[in-house]
Structure 1
């Protein structure tokens, strides 16, 4: 079947603009952040008409066993097949530990059975610093030349200079890197977390236009 690609940067924009709706604050632990973000994409998949599964699994040929997927979207249409899903529309992984960045990529691009190759891939990965991005993107590009997915990789890392979290999103196709968006993760005066695009972040705009 011909692969069905999404505009993943549009999904990223929705993730940014709706982040405050997740009601996450400085009182929540890492597990709750992971849960709410995965739940957000699970609901999005259902709104788009897919069957969404949290903690799904697919077979990894290199390891010889099934490995979990944080989230999957499957396409089902009884007009074409009443017993089986037509294809895996999306595989999403969300990882908070920077030391697992390569492992996350390996899960998203594992060698698997044909019916489990995702048409679209989203990775949300915390990293130590921006210097890690080039290495990880090259790894994704190499693996995706084989897998042929439509990829959105979202990196998150802390910026000590400005005391906030940077968010870097890259859209990657089988032909290569196609688009980049930069955003800021921070907390409002009530302690609730939000994300906004870098060009819309008011403190940065004030620095550019001090008068």
Structure 2
């Protein structure tokens, strides 16, 4: 079956613009951030008509065992097949620990059965620095030459100078890197977390005006 690709940068747009609705604050722990973000994408999949499964699994041929998927979207259509899903529409991994960045990539691009090769891939990964993203993207480009998925990688890292998180999204297809978008993650005056695009963030707007 021909792969069904999404405009994944639109998914990132919604993730950024709706982040405040997750009602996460500085009082919540890491596990709650992970849960709410995965739940957001699970609901998005259901709104789009897919069956969404949290903590699904797929067989990893290189390890000889099943490995978990944080989230999967499966396409079902009883008019075509009333017993089996038609394809794995999306595989998402969300990881807060930078030391597991390569493991996250390996999960998203593991050698598996044909029915479990995802048409679309989303990875949300914390990294130590901006330089690390280049290494991970090169690894993804290499692995995706084989898997041929539509990929959205969202990286988050702390900017010590501004004391906030920078968020960078990359869209990658089997042909290569096609689009990049930057945002920030911060807290409002009440301690609740939000995201906005860099061009909408007031300190960056003032900086750009000063440069003119």
- In structure 2, list runs of 5 or more residues that go unmatched: none
User: After TM superposition, which residue ranges in structure 1, 4 or more long, deviate above 4 angstroms?
Assistant: none
Whether 2:55 is the aligned partner of 1:65: answer no
Once the two structures are TM-superposed, the CA of residue 206 in structure 1 deviates from its matched residue by: 1.7
Once the two structures are TM-superposed, the CA of residue 193 in structure 1 deviates from its matched residue by: 0.3
The equivalent residue for 2:132 is 132
Provide Cα deviations, 1:21-66, integer angstroms capped at 9, x if missing partner: 0000000000000000000000000000000000000000000000
The equivalent residue for 2:198 is 198
Separation in structure 1 between the aligned mates of residue 127 and residue 53 of structure 2, nearest angstrom: 26
Give the length in aligned residue pairs. Answer: 211
Separation in structure 2 between the aligned mates of residue 89 and residue 127 of structure 1, nearest angstrom: 26
Provide Cα deviations, 1:139-193, integer angstroms capped at 9, x if missing partner: 0000000000000000000000111000000000000000000000000001000
Whether 2:104 is the aligned partner of 1:104: answer yes
The equivalent residue for 2:148 is 148
The equivalent residue for 1:186 is 186
Once the two structures are TM-superposed, the CA of residue 203 in structure 1 deviates from its matched residue by: 1.5
Once the two structures are TM-superposed, the CA of residue 209 in structure 1 deviates from its matched residue by: 2.3
With normalisation by structure 2, the TM-score equals 0.98
Matches within 5 A, 1:2-17: 2-17=2-17
Separation in structure 2 between the aligned mates of residue 203 and residue 24 of structure 1, nearest angstrom: 23
Separation in structure 2 between the aligned mates of residue 39 and residue 111 of structure 1, nearest angstrom: 26
Name the SS of the counterpart of 1:13 in structure 2.
Answer: helix
Name the SS of the counterpart of 1:209 in structure 2.
Answer: helix
Separation in structure 2 between the aligned mates of residue 169 and residue 193 of structure 1, nearest angstrom: 18
- In structure 1, list runs of 5 or more residues that go unmatched: none
